Amino acid sequence: MIKRWIARIMAPLDPSLLGLILSLMALGLAVLYSASGRDMMTVIGQARSMMIALLGMCVLAHIPPQYLMRLAAPAYLFGLLMLIGVALFGEVSHGARRWLHLGPVRIQPSEFMKLALPIALAAWFQYREESLNFRDFLVALLLFIIPVGLIAKQPDLGTALLIASSGCFALFLAGLSWRVIALAVVSGAAALPVAWTFLHDYQRQRVLTLINPASDPLGAGYHIIQSTISVGSGGVFGKGWLSGTQAHLDFLPEPTTDFIFAVFCEEFGLLGELILLALLVSLVIRGLRIAGHASSVFNRLAAGAICLTLFTYTFVNMGMVAGILPVVGVPLPFISYGGTSLITLMLGQGILMSIRYHRTIVKR
Amino acid sequence: MNSRSRVYDQALSLHAYRNRLQIATFAIFLGCGLLFLRFFWLQIFQYEHYRTLAEANRITISPVVPSRGIIMDREGRPLANNYSAYTLEIMPYQVDDLDETIDALSKIVDITPRDRRRFHKLYDESRNFDSLPIRNRLSEVEVAKFAVNRYRFPGVEIRARLFRNYPEGLTASHLIGYIGRINDNDISKLDDAGLLPNYRGSEHLGKVGIEQSYERELHGLTGSEQLETDAGGRAVHSLARKEPVSGNDLTLSIDLGLQQVAENAFGNRRGALVAIEPSTGEVLAFVSQPGFDPNLFVDGIDQANWENLNQSIDKPLNNRASRGLYPPGSTIKPFMALAGLQTKHRTPESVIQDPGYFAFPGSSHRYRDWKPEGHGTVDLHRSIVQSCDTYYYTLANELGIDVMHDYLAQFGFGEKTGIDLEGELPGVLPSRAWKKTRFHQEWFGGETVISGIGQGYNQMTPLQMAGAVAALANGGKFYQPHIVKSIRESATGNRRDIKPVLVRDAGLREEDFNAVRDAMVDVLLPGGTAAQAGAGTPYKFAGKTGTAQVVAIKQNEKYVESRVKERNRDHAWFVGFAPADAPRIALAVLVENGGHGGTSAAPIARQVVDYWLLGKKANSPASDLEADTPPAKPGTTKPSDENEEHHND
């Protein structure tokens, strides 16, 4: 009886995805233990977030994609309303308005939008499937430019760019013509100098600092310098778990969140990085396979955008730690400390699993 | 659109989609390759380099705080400068038991309970890696004593630090302001402005006055030093150093001598004075009395001094010049007169009959003139020289409040002057629209009438009055008042002059201007309201007196009656400029509870103008009128109750 129950619960969970996720989580906890300075409380807290995230993934995996699709528009509108709410009444912390108080709950609507936007775009293209034309792409562009603009205004440029990229992935996968893509890339490059004038001073500083970290050794440049030292001193095999010096001597900023990968590099070296990258890329590739075999436009686009966004996070975080991308607050998937982003991430994985599982049941 | 493209070809679409997925997959591997190359470069090729860095990452980068810019008066006399002294500092994160360490230290150098309290306060407020001073200004002997015992105190060090000093003490304290310890609030503001990295290592920033408004100029650029440290965190030697760039030096347009003359002229009366050069907007003197000693704030003010300053009935921390709001009273009349002339409601020759009051037709309510029997036949000239109220009741009634508002606004009333100090108040220049927004009420005709003599809702700062009278002296050209005359960039040694900013031009017609100016000159001649103060000037002095009624004061019964009465007296105003035909100085003087403007405010103005136009020697006729009394010391002011409030708050 219980066995049957468990079997039913486990049925939609893709074994390879689940295996990869669990390995990544285990690795994440191990690194976190070291990065937090052997703080068991932090590790237990993160493990609890992981449990909740796994539960959330499980629930979504059971919901057939066509129901998810129906939720897309309301979820998107809800996210948009919350973002407007943040712009009007949000709590200001460190000069940015990112949090919204709803009674006792404090939420970060931009986090919610990370998932709601690709789903909404996928649903839109599904809805227009029969008569897709260029105007539909323009509408889709509008759908993602509004939330991205609101988030950039908070200001949270990192998240805004990441959400924008998830929107771009959906457009790309939906078949936006190469001519338009080329045009967008060219005009985007041309608009860069204009965008520069809209950036906050500290955001400009981050970009400038990336080009020459030595120009600002006390501010943002300090982060880049210290994190590069961590990575470089790791060598091929690393200094060994719990033996990194950079993190433990407090040279690294945010060693448990945005810069946890620097701790990882220092302790596990190039080999460790290859393994971690392999795990993450396998997860992405597995997801893309699911996307490739998905049964409807919604499923394909949602799955594709979720996977590509996951890779973008990985790439941006690692690039930042390695000193080739500006310092933007992006966590490393499954490894960085923090519950909210983990849950969003895992809900995405749940959707992937649901798409895979229900494909075999609802045949077209 | 042809039918073929309308038909959705699923196979074709799926093919295109898979094609795109392949491209994405390719991009992913490309990205991984890029990351791999970077890691390969860092961890294989550069491994030795970074390993060395990490090993010695006891190489710490520590900030080198720049020395703060100096503030000088227009002649280069220092108003704020720095001096170097030794401090004894503790790095709390390297010390196990703070109290024990401090106890041990106190056997070597003097450590007072106050030092301890201050240290603990700093410790509670400080950021992670601070080294915190337990004692400032060590003597040579103390430095030597500690050096001998240094081995016993890991985490305790002697440092040479720069201290801020205000050599003139109480003089111009509201203007210069002071620096104070950086607190959490400051940190979040600096963070928002993206300035926090430049403040690593800085402990102070400007809190009030020029020190605050020119913080960015004064602070300078923090340098950095790569230090090799031993296991205890002590610097062993310096590897590389990026020199800090000192803050920029400020030269103010204030003249220290003039400022002192003005402050002394107040004696121990409360009030404010602002003197401006009309043709440029340069502020020559900026007085708010009583003042305070800014030196008290530099290292964190102690409780006793703070209470003294904060609770004094004289409110020495109040910047009366730019934040004190007072009804302008009769000093509004020259501006009203111009409004009448420019709008053609009056000519210099037109007269009214003053029976001693103004009343609306059919109403028994009388708006009284200060002279009960009335001034009789009054033209514009007499209306100013004798300060006739009825003339302006009538004029205001004819103009209407909105015309008055729009005209007077050209002189800067009702909005901030834009002076380079923070916290200036805009005051109130009433209009129908203003009352609607402020009180949600309609405007009454009677309110127009009393606005005509500067009463009612009108509230102005002495700074605004000075700005307005400077604009008047200038034929209607309003230059933005400013205090900093030039900035010397320490990075380049270049001097940047602050250019006068013409804000607006009321465009006075010459004959109108002459009529008002001539009347204002006669105010200081026999028969005028300030004749006494104007006696014997070798230059032409144009001015106008005023009194501002002190209405309802919330008074605490504890006060002795004589004191209460003093505080209930009218505020005295004087505005003026000189020489009348080529003005070099325009000023506004307010004496709180001074009584009549002609007898208490005008003599102060006279002393200031004498000093400015005639030089130091010719300070004689005015000093007969007002005895010089030393300025009040903050420590000696009587403590008082917080409930006491001036109506001008």
What's the half-sphere exposure (Cβ side, CA atoms, 13 Å) at A136? 19
Q: Which residue of A has its CA nearest to B38?
A: A322
Q: How confident is the model at residue B73 (pLDDT cuts 50, 70, 90)?
A: very high
- Residue B248 DSSP code: P
What pLDDT sits at residue B627? 39
Q: What is the pTM of this model?
A: 0.59
Q: Could you tell me if B197 lies within 8 Å of chain A, comparing CB atoms?
A: yes
Question: Distance (Å, rounded) from C-alpha B255 to C-alpha B65?
Answer: 31
pLDDT (mean) for B130-137: 79
Q: How far lies A210's CA from each of A207, B83, B376, in Å? A: 5, 38, 81
- Do B188 and A94 lie within an 8 Å CB cutoff? yes
Question: Distance (Å, rounded) from C-alpha B320 to C-alpha B73?
Answer: 21
Among A278, A349, A264, A273, which Cα is nearest to A310's? A349
Which tokens is B614 given?
């005639």
Which tokens is A47 given?
């493990």
Residues 3 through 62 of chain B touching chain A, CB cutoff 8 Å: 6, 8, 13, 16-18, 20-21, 24-25, 28-29, 31-32, 34-36, 38-40, 42-44, 46-47, 49-51, 53-55, 57-58, 61
Chain A: give the shortest CA distance to residue B60, in Å: 9
What pLDDT sits at residue B429? 93
Same domain, B288 and B247: no
**Do B145 and B109 form a contact (C-beta atoms < 8 A)?**
yes
Same domain, B365 and B412: yes
CA angle centred on B646, ends B313 and B288, rounded to 5°: 70
- Which are the contacts of B441, defined by CB distance < 8 A and separation ≥ 6? B435
Catalytic positions of B are 330
- Which are the contacts of B17, defined by CB distance < 8 A and separation ≥ 6? A173, A175, A292, A300, A304
> Per-residue pLDDT for B110 more than 60?
yes
What pLDDT sits at residue B5? 43
Q: How confident is the model over B346-393, as pLDDT tens digits?
A: 999 989 998 888 988 888 888 888 888 888 899 999 999 999 999 999
Among B227, B288, B200, which Cα is nearest to B60's? B227
Three-class secondary structure of residue B343 per DSSP: coil
**Disruptive mutation site among B10, B17, B127, B225 for chain A (greatest number of A CBs within 10 Å):** B17
Low-confidence ranges of chain A (pLDDT < 70): 91-106, 202, 206, 209-220, 246-251, 360-364
On chain A, the residues whose CB falls within 8 A of the CB of B46 are: 232
- Main-chain dihedrals φ then ψ at residue B178, nearest 5 degrees: -160, 165
Whether B602 maps to a domain, the answer reads: yes
- Which are the contacts of A171, defined by CB distance < 8 A and separation ≥ 6? A121, A137, A140, A141
On chain B, the residues whose CB falls within 8 A of the CB of A218 are: 61, 63, 197-198, 200, 222, 224
Chain A: give the shortest CA distance to residue B309, in Å: 33
Chain A: give the shortest CA distance to residue B273, in Å: 39
What pLDDT sits at residue B204? 86
Same domain, B14 and B140: no
Q: Could you tell me if B280 lies within 8 Å of chain A, comparing CB atoms?
A: no
- Residue A324 DSSP code: S
What pLDDT sits at residue A89? 76
Which tokens is B607 given?
């002393």
Which tokens is B624 given?
């007969």
Question: Distance (Å, rounded) from C-alpha A168 to C-alpha A231?
Answer: 31
What pLDDT sits at residue A220? 62
Distance of alpha carbon A78 from the chain centroid: 20
Find the farthest-apart pair of alpha carbons in chain A and give their distance in angstroms, rounded: 67
**Do B268 and B631 form a contact (C-beta atoms < 8 A)?**
yes
Same domain, B378 and B474: yes
Question: Distance (Å, rounded) from C-alpha B340 to C-alpha B348?
Answer: 10
Rg of chain A taking only CA atoms, in angstroms: 21
**Do B178 and B297 form a contact (C-beta atoms < 8 A)?**
yes
- Residue A362 DSSP code: S
**Do B72 and B252 form a contact (C-beta atoms < 8 A)?**
yes
What pLDDT sits at residue B1? 38
- Domain end, chosen from B188, B219, B252, is at B252
Q: How confident is the model over B23-43, as pLDDT tens digits?
A: 999 999 999 999 999 999 988
**Do B65 and B73 form a contact (C-beta atoms < 8 A)?**
no
- Do B51 and A232 lie within an 8 Å CB cutoff? yes
What pLDDT sits at residue B256? 93
Domain that holds residue B34: 10-55
Whether B1 maps to a domain, the answer reads: no
Same domain, B246 and B260: no
Same domain, B51 and B100: no
Among A121, A119, A14, which Cα is nearest to A356's? A14
- Which are the contacts of B554, defined by CB distance < 8 A and separation ≥ 6? B643, B644, B645
- Residue whose structure tokens are 């009056």: B346
Share of chain B above pLDDT 90, in %: 39
- Please report the ipTM that was assigned to this predicted complex: 0.90
- Do B200 and A315 lie within an 8 Å CB cutoff? no
What pLDDT sits at residue A247? 62
Question: Distance (Å, rounded) from C-alpha B442 to C-alpha B462?
Answer: 29
**Disruptive mutation site among B39, B191, B219 for chain A (greatest number of A CBs within 10 Å):** B39
Same domain, B68 and B120: yes
What pLDDT sits at residue A25? 95
On chain A, the residues whose CB falls within 8 A of the CB of B239 are: none
Q: How confident is the model over B467-504, as pLDDT tens digits?
A: 999 999 999 999 999 999 999 998 888 898 989 999 99
Q: How far lies B533's CA from each of B6, B273, B623, B624, in Å? A: 95, 16, 10, 10
Q: How confident is the model at residue B565 (pLDDT cuts 50, 70, 90)?
A: low
**Do A227 and A252 form a contact (C-beta atoms < 8 A)?**
yes
Rg of chain B taking only CA atoms, in angstroms: 33
Same domain, B218 and B160: yes
Same domain, B50 and B141: no
CATH number of the structural domain spanning residue B434: 3.40.710.10
What pLDDT sits at residue B481? 94
pLDDT (mean) for B532-547: 90
Q: Exposed, middle or buried by CB within 10 Å (0-12, 13-18, 19+), for B150?
A: middle
Distance of alpha carbon B195 from the chain centroid: 22
On chain A, the residues whose CB falls within 8 A of the CB of B34 are: 324
**Do B321 and B286 form a contact (C-beta atoms < 8 A)?**
yes
Share of chain B above pLDDT 70, in %: 87
Same domain, B26 and B165: no
Whether B644 maps to a domain, the answer reads: no
Q: Which one of B8, B36, B43 has the shortest CB-CB distance to A234?
A: B43
Q: How far apart are the first and last CA of chain B?
A: 74
pLDDT (mean) for B399-407: 92
Number of residues that this document lists for chain B:
649
Higher pLDDT, B402 or B363: B402
Question: Distance (Å, rounded) from C-alpha B272 to C-alpha B258?
Answer: 14
Among A198, A133, A214, which Cα is nearest to A160's? A198
Q: How confident is the model at residue B639 (pLDDT cuts 50, 70, 90)?
A: very low
Q: Exposed, middle or buried by CB within 10 Å (0-12, 13-18, 19+), for B640?
A: middle
Q: What b/e string do you get for B87-120 counting C-beta neighbours within 10 Å, with b at 16 or more?
A: bbbbbbebbeebeebbeebeebbebeeebbebbe
Q: How many domains are contained in chain B?
A: 3
**Do A152 and A322 form a contact (C-beta atoms < 8 A)?**
no
Distance of alpha carbon B369 from the chain centroid: 37
- Domain end, chosen from B227, B252, B277, is at B252
- Which are the contacts of B461, defined by CB distance < 8 A and separation ≥ 6? B272, B321, B322, B323, B324, B325, B326, B424, B425, B427
Size of interface A-B (CB pairs under 8 A): 136
**Do B221 and B244 form a contact (C-beta atoms < 8 A)?**
yes
User: Among A68-72, A263-267, B398-402, B594-598, where is mean pLDDT lowest?
Assistant: B594-598
Q: How confident is the model at residue B635 (pLDDT cuts 50, 70, 90)?
A: very low
What pLDDT sits at residue B263? 93
What pLDDT sits at residue A93? 59
Same domain, B455 and B582: yes
CATH number of the structural domain spanning residue B195: 3.90.1310.10
- Residue whose structure tokens are 């170097």: B84
> Per-residue pLDDT for B72 more than 80?
yes
- Do A270 and B196 lie within an 8 Å CB cutoff? no
- Domain end, chosen from B198, B232, B252, is at B252
